[in-house]
Amino acid sequence: MVDPITLGTSLGLGGFGVYLLNRYWQQRQAQLRAQALLDKYSTRSRIGLHQGEMRLLVTMPQVGELPLAEQAAWQERDERRNRNFLELGLLQSNAEAESTPDADEDVPDDDERLMELEARQEWTSEHETPMTEHAAVVAEEHVGSGVSVATEEDEEPEVNMDERLEREGGASGEVQISLAWDDYNDLDLHLFCPSGERIYFNNKKSECGGHLDVDMNVRPVSNTPVENVVWAGTAPLGTYKVGVHFYKHHRKRRTKRVCKYRLRVVTHGRSREYLGSIKYGQAMQMVTSFSLADAAHKG
């Protein structure tokens, strides 16, 4: 006769083994699907010599470029990200904004800016664990969020990225990602590095050489803000993922809860710009991802 305890233990271990196998199978299928999308829809271009080696740039597609079935799968993942964002309690309280009238164009003084910086640091410390958890969910995505690649016809005179970067002292380099928008809201760049690090306002420098050197509108100081992440030295090979988060809605004149933005990605002197929008309360968007590789070993 089989001992009930032994039988129960065996069944439990067997069930756990089935769970692990099923989880591995699901992860493997996701990896294969991502690789298939990469092979079929990504764009590749040689971008010039670096230390005697030719660099290869591989850019993943936007969701609108995929077949309808893959678009539906992306939409399910996006809804999961939005639920995750709200369930983790990452939506900023608007109590302060609701208790004050709409502000005019007055620029906050240094004391107000310091208070807002301290408030953000306090909020970040309190929510560090759920923020990291949400970022990990977003980082699973390979496909862009549906932004459009800007063309010459899309040029808007008021969005001069170079002028804004020069004004704020933003640096340039081998890899540079810049974000601009046209109101007093606080959008944030999140750069997922090849090293696995995430560069954002609470981790401005990565061990792999990236640096967030411009971070604006913690306090609503400008309606022509810009943010900038740059590798001024050697940029590492590997995959870069660019996220945009609508951190806080500042109630000021002509500042709405849906914010249009412009994102520029520069790799070894080649530039590509994206136009998109994000709604307050929405999960962090994975705007685009790209990889740098040695063209001689592009596999």
For every residue of 122-191, DSSP letters joined together read HHHHHTHHHHHHHHHHHHT--SB-SPEEP-GGG--TT--HHHHHHHHT----SEEEEEEESSS-EEEEEE
d(C-alpha 242, C-alpha 260), whole Å: 16
Task: Give the model's pLDDT for residue 91.
Answer: 86
Whether the per-residue pLDDT at 235 is higher than 90: the answer is yes
Higher pLDDT, 131 or 11: 131
Higher pLDDT, 297 or 203: 203
Task: Give the model's pLDDT for residue 6.
Answer: 62
Task: Give the model's pLDDT for residue 84.
Answer: 96
pLDDT, tens digit, for every residue of 38-79? 556 677 787 776 666 788 899 999 999 999 999 999 999 999
> 102 is written with which tokens?
């709409």
Contact 61, 41 (CB under 8 A): yes
Mean pLDDT of the chain: 83
Name, in order, each residue with C-beta under 8 angstroms of 203's C-beta and a sequence gap of 6 or more.
Answer: 197
- For residue 229, the surrounding DSSP H or E stretch is strand 226-231
> 168 is written with which tokens?
């704020």
Q: Give CA angle at 80 (74, 84), nearest 5°.
A: 145
d(C-alpha 280, C-alpha 261), whole Å: 13
pLDDT, tens digit, for every residue of 179-197? 999 999 999 999 999 999 9
> 109 is written with which tokens?
């003084």
